[in-house]
Amino acid sequence: MPLVNLKDRLALIKSDRDKKASPAPRKRIVPEGWTEIAPLVWMREIDRPFVRAPAFFSPHLMRAMPFREDRRQNRGGTGSQCADIPPVPAERIVFFDLETTGLSGGSGTIAFLSTVARFEGSDLVLRQTFLGDYPGERDFLVLVTSQLEDADWVASYNGAAFDLPLLQTRCVLNRLAMPLVRHIDVLHDCRRFWRGLAASCSLSSMENLILKKERDEDIPGALVPGVWLDYVKSDVLREEQSALMTLVWRHNVQDVVSLAELFLLVESAYRSPESAVLRYSIDPAGLARRLLRMDREEEAKGILLMVRDKAEMFELTGDARTRALRHLASIAWKARDRELYVKTILAMDDASLFGCLAKAKLYEHFLKEELSALSWARKARDIAVAGGAGEGTRASASSLSALSLEAIDHRIARLERKIAKKDNPAAL
Amino acid sequence: MNPETANAICDELASWLAAQSEIAWSTKLPARVPDLVPLPENLPPVLVQALGSRGIKALYSHQKKAYELARAGRDLVVVTPTASGKTLCYNLPVLQTLLEEPESRALYLFPTKALSQDQQSALNEVMLAGSIGLTINTYDGDTPADIRTKARTSGRIIISNPDMLHAGILPNHTKWVKFFSNLRYIVVDELHAYRGVFGSHVASVLRRLIRIAKFYGSSPIFIFSSATIANPRELAERYIEREVALVEENGAGSGEKVVFCVNPPLVDAVQGIRRSSSLEAESVMLWLLRKGVRTILFSRSRLQVELLASYLNQKLENPYNRDFGLVVKPYRSGLLPSERRAIEKGLREGNIHGVVSTNALELGIDIGGLDAAVITGYPGSIASFWQQAGRAGRTAGLSLAVYVASSAPLDQYFAAHPEYFLSRSAEQAHIDAYNPYIFTDHLKCAAFELPFAEGEAFSPDPSNVRAAQLTQEALEYLEEEGIVRHAAGRYFWSAEGYPGEKTSLRTATTENVVIVDVTQGRHDVIGEMDRPSAKELLFDKAVYIHLGTQYQVKSLDLEKRLCLVERSDVDYWTDSIVKRDIEVLSQDSTEPHGQLDLILGDILVRGQVEKYKKLRFNTNENVGYGEIWLPPEEMQTRSLMVALKPEGGAWRLLREIPPERADGILRSAADLVRQLAPARILCDIHDIGVASRVRDQFFKSPAMYFYDVYPGGTGIAEALHANLKEAMASAIERLAGCPCAGGCPSCIGVEIASAENKALALQLLRLLHGALES
């Protein structure tokens, strides 16, 4: 924002300038493909053949929640709460994304572009609504909210934290009712599934990593607000301004297409977890945890067992594998399934600190074989000294402290005492 | 203290003081009989019960009056001294409304976070006692996220501060729909704290608040409360631009209060050097504590507070009787919130018997009643003095206040002229709600919150023509800057980002240095301090005392805002020496006025800590020096400069007297203008910085600087530029009309007091004023 220094400002504020008449909203030529629906509000429809469009979705399998301003009250709204909802015809779900004048929210940030997409047959039909200037905002919002209201479900990427609260704010300011929609934020599942894989779970990094797409022509999201603000304040549009705005429209379309693709992928993971884990490098522990919360324990166990027994089928990092086996071990522990527990621990990676320690604990407390326990504890110590502590442990402080050298030494000393006592009970 | 012991102790104190030092004067303020009236008749039974359980069966007359005004829908300001049950004035009508209207809400604003927490605990006490069951939430920077959500939707009373309102609540008002739609009362406590530039900011924040409330269809009633100032009603009306009723008759009773003004004994009668006022205050407090008198000692600096508390505890140390069962604590900014809460609680509950405090305890934090207050040196304003003295004697019965005069000329003048001191009235508080800089900054925030309609006045009064015009001009300016967009009769915020982020309501930087104790591998955060003070108090090897524990600074990293300290037991403390100077950066406009030039421009005010002294504990004996290597604290700001031209009358006048005297006369003339300017340009005296030099290095002639103490400036220099002539005229009027013989604090000050200097200063001001008129 250009800020002149204070003295110039004062001079400007004080200077007497002729009072301007209120400017009439300027007319822009409606570009090809767009239709003017209301003053300053344009719409267009884009048809995109979609290869894998199924007839039904099972959004009830996913983490869904009605949108309210107060999201926290709905925390823990798991699939099981919606379990009695039947599968939804594909065309009853819409994919939604906004472009706005700022990324930080607040009541001065407005939405100027919306894309709402839905399946029609095997096509994805995108309806894009564009606001050409501030005074058209109310009409713009009426259109957008009616498109959302028209569906049973709305899917978004980060909509829970950004798009929907922003839409809500705009509705409040324009005294419109915000539709109460069932909402699925695909970002939440992406985080569970691919957090370990990508540095960030932004839509663009998911696009690259999971959908393996590259955008040929695009504008970075951070520049989008400036393009519109500049567009709206210009009396006459320069060619590059129009070109940039065209890019913004496209950017928004691409975002929604990717959102739909990610949604399909995530949804299919809930439908057939095993094959999804194999095909899309999903973190097995992340998916298993979600399944468990939906009382789909057998399926959760299934994918974890697959990780344990058919390691060669996966391209998993050691980290993801360790996490999966830890999770399986904890399921076994809670179910008091001794065999599963022992087998899982024994399957853990011999080269990882966590694996060695788990085995040391197993042998000491469960199998009562102190000598084996000691040798695993010593191995753990070697790894810890070599500095290989971290992997497999996106863990709490308490479990980290169990991995400290001090704790390992303590364990070794205890094991040595136990062995000595067993060897020579009279000595102590 | 019961009355008999109290009287006995008072007499004993008088003779003890007379024996060991010098009582300059003493006075007895009479007791006041409480003016009690019955509780209002239609008060809900739960409220009556809640009051009853706290022992309240009747109201003071001023509480009743405030209650009736508020219930009648009037805006009001309550001005009563400490301990007069001020909070009930607003709690009673607010709670009753909240009980009667299940959706209604109230907002309480306090100037500091510490106060709002205190208020919440006080309110919760009332609530719990009567199980009224209204949700009260503090909403500030420290509020955890999950409580914030609850507060927004279900908090019936929100307790917050202007800064949070400005940066957190108003820009996100759509999350507060329920709150704003049902907002019935806004309570602004400690109104006197909002004056000058800070007050002007707060005025704009309140304007934004009123505007948003209006958008949601509510028009809340304002209840202001203030400590004694000269113009409470005018100040409150400037805030909300409508008539405000004044409640100022204090119906609370109070016991007698004896005020002693003590001059420390002469150490060197020939040179007139007296014992240090701090040490004198310390022995007074020690004497009082040993007599079982619960005492608060006010000291000027954080360092002194820690030192005095340590000395007192040392002197009370006695392993045989657990230090006489007496506990003394230091209280100042920079302590951790939990530490402050603990001390406040200890004082309320009586297990802390003495506290040494900076003016941090001057504001309305509830610490219960103490028996005596010891004040070291004049605290800078008469209102502060009586606030501090009022800390003693909240309950009925005799209380004591001991004013220990320092050797500063002002203190000595007050010691010598009790009639002058005791008849001084409280200061005025000013704000300029239309300071163009501040107004424009907040106009941006307001446009972000809600588009402006054409012709809308950014003012609590929609019919304010001047405000409408100023709003229009500022909006047009913002449109040219591309910050708002004018379309279809409205102005829309049209920029990226949050305007509130760029505007801070206070000068103080929020960048605090964190102090970490690293003794023997520890890593404990023990406190924090603002950056400018850190340079003066936390330089390498400085001795830092925290709640009586002594540390030495290992390293100060200003970039990481981290100060590492280690326990230490050296036998000295450290005091830094700060050198300040002014550099002229630009002269943007020069207006010649015959024998002087008026210049507006940018200056750099620099404060550099260069050296420190090591002073032995207790004796203050100087045991060495050290160097300090820290970057200077610099502030670029706007200044009005008055440069005298060679050979002009004023120039000649100053040339003809010896340089030191000339310096003093020029300085006292500048100071007097500074003192009288706030009433003209509606700021606080502390918003204006002043400097003067007879041999100014930049102008090569005598010069005065009046500068804005806010970095970058807030229009103070410009406003003074437009009003200098009038301010000079008031200065002349004050000086010529001052009945004193040879200078007093009301005119030229006491440092250069003499009849001759008074005449010279008057002559100088007349020459300057004459030049401005030409």
Where is pLDDT greater, at B763 or A53?
B763
Percent of chain B with pLDDT over 70: 95
Query: pLDDT per residue over A331-388, tens digit each?
Result: 888 888 888 988 898 888 888 888 888 888 888 888 888 888 999 989 888 888 776 5
Judged by CB atoms closer than 8 Å, whether chains meet at A107 and B174 is answered as yes
pLDDT tops 50 at residue A77: no
- Residue-averaged pLDDT of chain B: 88
The band of B395, judged by pLDDT with boundaries at 50, 70 and 90, is low
Nearest-CA distance A402 → chain B (Å): 22
Which range scores top for mean pLDDT: B170-174, B497-501, B567-571, B680-684?
A: B170-174
| Mean pLDDT along residues A175-202 | 87
Contacts 24+ apart (CB under 8 A), A75-82: A78/A293, A78/A294, A79/A270, A79/A293, A79/A294, A80/A293, A80/A294, A80/A295
Give dist(CA A269, CA A90) in Å, integer: 17
Judged by CB atoms closer than 8 Å, whether chains meet at A106 and B488 is answered as no
Name the residue of chain A whose CA is nearest to B478's CA.
Answer: A13
Give dist(CA A234, CA B487) in Å, integer: 12
Considering only CB atoms, which chain B residues are within 8 Å of A6? 437, 638, 712-713, 715
Where is pLDDT greater, at A4 or B670?
B670
The band of B103, judged by pLDDT with boundaries at 50, 70 and 90, is very high
Give dist(CA B101, CA B81) in Å, integer: 32
Judged by CB atoms closer than 8 Å, whether chains meet at A25 and B488 is answered as yes
What angle is formed at CA B312 by the lines to CA B310 and CA B316, rounded to 5 degrees?
115
Residue B317 confidence (pLDDT): 83
Name the residue of chain A whose CA is nearest to B475's CA.
Answer: A13
pLDDT tops 50 at residue B44: yes
pLDDT tops 60 at residue A5: no
Judged by CB atoms closer than 8 Å, whether chains meet at A2 and B495 is answered as no
Taking the CB of residue A177, how many other CB atoms lie within 10 A of it?
A: 9
The answer to whether residue B340 sits within a structural domain is: yes
| Mean pLDDT along residues B639-659 | 92
Judged by CB atoms closer than 8 Å, whether chains meet at A6 and B493 is answered as no
Name the residue of chain B whose CA is nearest to A169's CA.
Answer: B174
Residue B683 confidence (pLDDT): 85
Lowest mean pLDDT, pick from A134-138, A376-380, A388-392, B707-711 = A388-392
Residue A61 confidence (pLDDT): 61
Contact B158, B406 (CB under 8 A): no
Residue B124 confidence (pLDDT): 67
Nearest-CA distance B149 → chain A (Å): 7
Maximum Cα–Cα distance for chain A, whole Å? 106
Name the residue of chain A whose CA is nearest to B454's CA.
Answer: A22
Which CATH superfamily groups domain A26-271?
Ribonuclease H-like superfamily/Ribonuclease H (3.30.420.10)
Where is pLDDT greater, at B190 or A75?
B190
Query: pLDDT per residue over B62-84, tens digit each?
Result: 999 999 999 999 999 999 877 77
Do residues B146 and B201 share a domain? yes
Do residues B101 and B219 share a domain? yes
Do residues B758 and B677 share a domain? yes
Q: Which two tokens stand for residue B385?
A: 């003095």
H or E element at residue A257 = helix A239-271
Nearest-CA distance B179 → chain A (Å): 14
Which range scores top for mean pLDDT: B170-174, B393-397, B522-526, B709-713?
A: B170-174
The tally of domains found in chain B comes to: 5
Q: Which two tokens stand for residue B471?
A: 């709003």
pLDDT tops 50 at residue A73: no
Query: What is residue B505's three-state secondary structure?
Result: coil
The answer to whether residue B254 sits within a structural domain is: no
Lowest mean pLDDT, pick from B259-273, B422-436, B470-484, B706-720 = B259-273
Please say which residue of B484, B502, B520 terminates a domain. B502
Residue A394 confidence (pLDDT): 43
Q: Which two tokens stand for residue B81?
A: 């001294």
Judged by CB atoms closer than 8 Å, whether chains meet at A172 and B174 is answered as yes
Tell me the CATH number at B272.
Answer: 3.40.50.300
Interhelix angle B113-130/B337-349, rounded to 10 degrees, is: 50
Query: pLDDT per residue over B171-180, tens digit each?
Result: 999 999 999 9
Considering only CB atoms, which chain A residues are within 8 Å of B448? 106-108
The band of A76, judged by pLDDT with boundaries at 50, 70 and 90, is very low
Say how far residue B63 (Cα) sits from the centre of its chain. 26
Do residues B148 and B200 share a domain? yes
Do residues B280 and B225 share a domain? no
pLDDT tops 70 at residue B440: yes
pLDDT tops 50 at residue A80: no
Taking the CB of residue B593, how many other CB atoms lie within 10 A of it?
A: 18
Give dist(CA A310, CA A333) in Å, integer: 22
Please say which residue of B423, B456, B484 terminates a domain. B423
Judged by CB atoms closer than 8 Å, whether chains meet at A6 and B492 is answered as no
Do residues B150 and B97 share a domain? yes
Considering only CB atoms, which chain A residues are within 8 Å of B715? 6, 10
Query: pLDDT per residue over B538-589, tens digit each?
Result: 999 999 999 888 999 999 998 888 999 999 988 899 999 888 889 999 998 9
Name the residue of chain A whose CA is nearest to B148's CA.
Answer: A70
Contact A356, A379 (CB under 8 A): yes
Do residues B535 and B491 share a domain? no
Which of B472, B481, B487 comes nearest A135 by C-beta? B487
Which of B153, B474, B496 comes nearest A229 by C-beta? B496
Which of A23, A102, A233 comes nearest B497 by C-beta? A102
Considering only CB atoms, which chain B residues are within 8 Å of A25? 487-488
Nearest-CA distance B517 → chain A (Å): 23
Do residues B56 and B145 share a domain? yes
Judged by CB atoms closer than 8 Å, whether chains meet at A135 and B718 is answered as no
- Please, where are the H alpha helices in B274-369? 277-290, 302-316, 337-349
The half-sphere exposure of B317 on its side-chain side, counting CA atoms within 13 A, is 7
Give dist(CA B6, CA B371) in Å, integer: 9
Where is pLDDT greater, at A103 or B584?
B584
The answer to whether residue B626 sits within a structural domain is: no
pLDDT tops 50 at residue A1: no
Maximum Cα–Cα distance for chain B, whole Å? 83
Nearest-CA distance B134 → chain A (Å): 21
pLDDT tops 60 at residue A320: yes
| Mean pLDDT along residues B695-716 | 90
Q: What is the DSSP string of A8-76?
A: HHHHHHHS--PPPPPPPPPP-PPPTT-EEEETTEEEEEEEEE-TT--SEE-GGGS-EEE--S-GGGGTT
The band of A64, judged by pLDDT with boundaries at 50, 70 and 90, is low
Residue A21 confidence (pLDDT): 59
Query: pLDDT per residue over B183-225, tens digit each?
Result: 999 999 989 889 888 999 999 999 999 999 999 999 999 999 9
Lowest mean pLDDT, pick from B119-128, B462-471, B738-747 = B119-128
Considering only CB atoms, which chain B residues are within 8 Å of A165? 175
The band of B417, judged by pLDDT with boundaries at 50, 70 and 90, is confident
How many contacts does A have with B, using Cβ atoms within 8 A? 111
Nearest-CA distance A2 → chain B (Å): 7
Residue A322 confidence (pLDDT): 84
Which of A13, A70, A107 comes nearest B172 by C-beta? A107
The band of A72, judged by pLDDT with boundaries at 50, 70 and 90, is very low
Name the residue of chain A whose CA is nearest to B711's CA.
Answer: A6
pLDDT tops 60 at residue B12: yes
Judged by CB atoms closer than 8 Å, whether chains meet at A22 and B172 is answered as no
Residues of chain A that touch chain B, judged by Cβ-Cβ distance less than 8 Å: 1-4, 6-7, 9-10, 12-14, 17, 19-20, 22-25, 69-70, 72, 101-102, 104-108, 110, 133-135, 165, 168-169, 172-173, 225-226, 229, 232-233
The answer to whether residue B408 sits within a structural domain is: yes
| Amino acid occupying residue B615 | L
Residue A18 confidence (pLDDT): 46
The band of A69, judged by pLDDT with boundaries at 50, 70 and 90, is very low
Considering only CB atoms, which chain A residues are within 8 Å of B487? 23, 25, 133-135
The answer to whether residue B575 sits within a structural domain is: no
Probe site for chain B from A9, A17, A137 (most B CB atoms < 10 A): A9
Do residues B98 and B226 share a domain? yes
Residue span of the structural domain in which B343 resides: 3-20+263-423
Percent of chain A with pLDDT over 90: 31
The answer to whether residue B55 sits within a structural domain is: yes
Do residues B146 and B16 share a domain? no
Give dist(CA B198, CA B407) in Å, integer: 32
Residue A248 confidence (pLDDT): 96
The answer to whether residue B27 sits within a structural domain is: no
Considering only CB atoms, which chain A residues are within 8 Å of B713? 6
Name the residue of chain B whose CA is nearest to A100's CA.
Answer: B496
Please say which residue of B247, B272, B305 terminates a domain. B247
Contact A125, A47 (CB under 8 A): yes
pLDDT tops 90 at residue B392: no
Which of A10, A12, A23 comes nearest B486 by C-beta? A23
Judged by CB atoms closer than 8 Å, whether chains meet at B449 and A168 is answered as no
Query: pLDDT per residue over A21-56, tens digit each?
Result: 566 667 788 999 999 999 999 999 998 877 666 667
pLDDT tops 90 at residue B475: yes
The band of B361, judged by pLDDT with boundaries at 50, 70 and 90, is confident
Which of B436, B447, B712 comes nearest A13 by C-beta? B436
pLDDT tops 50 at residue A396: no
| Mean pLDDT along residues A71-80 | 40
The band of A60, judged by pLDDT with boundaries at 50, 70 and 90, is low
Which of B449, B480, B482 comes nearest A107 by C-beta? B449
Do residues B44 and B176 share a domain? yes
Do residues B77 and B213 share a domain? yes
Give dist(CA B212, CA B171) in Å, integer: 10
| Amino acid occupying residue B729 | A
| Mean pLDDT along residues B301-328 | 85
- Residue-averaged pLDDT of chain A: 82
The answer to whether residue B616 sits within a structural domain is: no
Say how far residue A225 (Cα) sits from the centre of its chain. 23
Considering only CB atoms, which chain B residues are within 8 Å of A169? 174-175
